[in-house]
Structure 1
């Protein structure tokens, strides 16, 4: 399943646990609202043009389309009639009040790790919202995936209900970051590959994933999510400052916010405290770097790609791939350019960057990189594929080759 929008020291551990609930005084007058922002509930449960949290957002998967539901406290169409115990069952075990299983497009596989205090704060927040009457749309899943009963077997294989346990060998900051990344922000949902049955591949967490989006003009389109581990083809070239700045301000010295991450930063991470975005950066930089098994592309493809790079890209990104503060970000060591699935990179080159609808920060506005133009009409499929293969395998980069058919599918 590819999901949008596509873890006798007990006394020490207990003393650390209090650090994982957000402090009201430091973060937000309403702790529940802060937690909802950290979990980015609004992006998945608010359809364009619809009421906030009223659901109706489509999630294309390999098995059909799933629609998010109404999580306002409406008694009939929302969760207004749910007790806390029923809310907790949905969040931790993926079970509705009627006993039916929820599809794991809803990331209860991550939310199951939330602390009891955070779970209660979330429930209290949602129950204070203005009720909105909005009936859930019917999912459009093929048989047998429309049979919710089969999820009981899926859960036995893939759902780990164990609570988040602080690691007493790590700092309080590291543990806070782990809790945010693994539970609240559920970063692995998009940034991990998935098994045949749609579960996150536990052996490859944060190594990059694939999700699908519905483009208003072009229909269903794949997107590739980068590797978040500190490998040379992931975030190895990013410092803790780079990661924290990207999450908080939408920009750093290596990348500018665009594409699928727009809603994550605009709706979620920019609202977090600097301490929390820093903690997330500390945790991500501590992950085990992923390995790269990509074969080196052939000389002919690299030569064609080098030529296309000189014509279309070298002026802004420089022949060295290092870019400059005035023209364009570096491509050397770029996690985006080396994502396991190149779909997002292809979309960028063909159609130009999908920039956020608003600047997430003043720092974002201060960056003077030139706006990249679309190249769909300037290169053939073969030329574009060679160019991207060259970028993904030059200046120390190493990633799979891009094929002409990959370009054709995404035009």
Structure 2
């Protein structure tokens, strides 16, 4: 009886703790609504403030996530696949009923800083407020002015497709309690103004870590592994920290040109989610892009002597190509010899699909990248290379840049797997990938799922 009584007491205490914890979370989760306002007239905003907001919105790449394919700018509805389900971006035009037209500046600032909308609902961190919380009040004011002067669009986003209990927004309060560190950004006196500007932008509005940092089981970025590489929309966001696998080490200058132009002769072209980032950064002040490049380069750190030696040798070798039909002995070799073995099935596929451009000897963007320089081939994951081969590199509208046809309709899964193995073995000195067949199928399946979510 004593054991039963003790067990009953323990159960009762446990229930009280659960109820008390739930009540505490509910109290923590509650946020008051902010009273709506009449939509302000666009003419009432200072044009200089609006222009500043436009530049900040470009750095934050706001238009990409808040514009569905074929939809109106900033009207939302873009499907954002996550490991937990699909979240749809919201309408951030000044439409009074379906957008943010009735949001005062305070409501917009709270959404950025705390991830809470005007009505008091917690927002899903697919909207990266864990980064946007760092944005200053002055910059939030400019962003609000820019958005309030866009064309209003009446459009409601589809309902998020999330399982219980993730479809209950109070759960997000617990996520924030664990993982949200509210801002704004505080300058680090140990670094100069350029570094601090770059840190403010890269860690805040540009939210680089949202893609380039691995995430834990709760979908939060892993502390201590900043910029160590992550996954986004079926692409692998390569490490941009000390673990970078770029065959030629990045520098401040190469990072700047890659971010500004969307490609670099020693690093290839921005693809996947990175392509619209580079498109957006082409329209912002040069000094901001240089600051981001300076900060990322500082986080990467200087390559060690061996990596620098290999990179210098590879840069020299690829600057003076030996021409098609030759085979590099190693990724860093300056001596290129040994004819490509055409009896190799991978070599035969390569000769028919890739060699004419990638061994033309013409520099980017007029010729294909020398594949010894390809981060997609030297990376830890084959995901990016699979997608590039399947879908190619589309032409950039109104800008000079590399292009490449896609081969999804020309290559079977087995042929693609064979080609991947060949490219890895020939053009990198890293171990071969394992599970290539599974990776090819996973890429195809994710494309089908993304298309289904987009048509929702």
Greater mean alpha carbon deviation, residues 113-122 or residues 372-381: 372-381
2:297 to 282, 285, 294: 285
For 1:28 and 1:249, the matched residues in 2 are separated by: 26
Count of paired positions: 355
TM-score when normalising by structure 2: 0.69
* Aligned residue runs from structure 1 range 376-387, under 5 A: 377=411, 380=415, 382-387=417-422
SS class of match (2:199):
helix
Q: Does 1:244 align with 2:256?
A: yes
Q: Against the structure 1 CA distance between its residues 228 and 236, is the aligned structure 2 distance closer, same or farther, given a 3 Å change threshold?
A: farther
For 2:201 and 2:104, the matched residues in 1 are separated by: 26
SS class of match (2:144):
helix
Give the equivalent residue in structure 2 for 1:70: 91
For 1:36 and 1:177, the matched residues in 2 are separated by: 16
Shift of 1:387: 2.5
For 1:331 and 1:207, the matched residues in 2 are separated by: 23
CA RMSD of aligned residues (A): 3.3
Is the CA contact 1:206–1:227 (under 8 Å) kept in the aligned structure 2? yes
Unaligned 5+ segments in structure 2 are: 1-45, 304-339, 445-456
Is the CA contact 2:50–2:145 (under 8 Å) kept in the aligned structure 1? no
Q: Does 1:355 align with 2:394?
A: yes
Q: Against the structure 1 CA distance between its residues 209 and 38, is the aligned structure 2 distance closer, same or farther, given a 3 Å change threshold?
A: same
Q: Does 1:184 align with 2:218?
A: no
Is the CA contact 1:317–1:324 (under 8 Å) kept in the aligned structure 2? no
* Aligned residue runs from structure 1 range 113-192, under 5 A: 113-192=134-213
Shift of 1:335: 3.1
TM-score when normalising by structure 1: 0.76
Give the equivalent residue in structure 2 for 1:92: 113
Is the CA contact 2:347–2:422 (under 8 Å) kept in the aligned structure 1? no
Give the equivalent residue in structure 2 for 1:5: none
* Aligned residue runs from structure 1 range 9-408, under 5 A: 30-212=51-233, 222-234=234-246, 237-254=249-266, 255-266=268-279, 268-288=280-300, 307=344, 310-311=347-348, 312=350, 317=358, 327-332=367-372, 334-349=374-389, 351-359=390-398, 361-362=399-400, 364=401, 371=404, 374=407, 377=411, 380=415, 382-390=417-425, 394-395=428-429, 397=430, 401-408=434-441
Is the CA contact 1:258–1:355 (under 8 Å) kept in the aligned structure 2? no
Is the CA contact 2:241–2:301 (under 8 Å) kept in the aligned structure 1? yes
Q: Against the structure 1 CA distance between its residues 236 and 173, is the aligned structure 2 distance closer, same or farther, given a 3 Å change threshold?
A: farther
SS class of match (1:203):
coil
Superposed CA deviations along residues 137-158 of structure 1, whole A, max 9, x for unmatched, are: 2111111110111111111111
For 1:81 and 1:391, the matched residues in 2 are separated by: 58
Give the equivalent residue in structure 2 for 1:20: none
For 2:192 and 2:245, the matched residues in 1 are separated by: 27
Superposed CA deviations along residues 120-173 of structure 1, whole A, max 9, x for unmatched, are: 111122222232221232111111110111111111111110321212221211
For 1:146 and 1:238, the matched residues in 2 are separated by: 42
Higher helix content, 1 or 2? 2
Superposed CA deviations along residues 75-119 of structure 1, whole A, max 9, x for unmatched, are: 211111112221111111111222211000001110000111101
For 1:132 and 1:92, the matched residues in 2 are separated by: 25
Is the CA contact 1:258–1:353 (under 8 Å) kept in the aligned structure 2? no
Superposed CA deviations along residues 1-59 of structure 1, whole A, max 9, x for unmatched, are: xxxxxxxxxxxxxxxxxxxxxxx99x997111111111111111111222211111111
Unaligned 5+ segments in structure 1 are: 1-23, 213-221, 292-302
For 1:129 and 1:275, the matched residues in 2 are separated by: 26
For 2:49 and 2:104, the matched residues in 1 are separated by: 25
Larger-gyration structure (1/2):
2
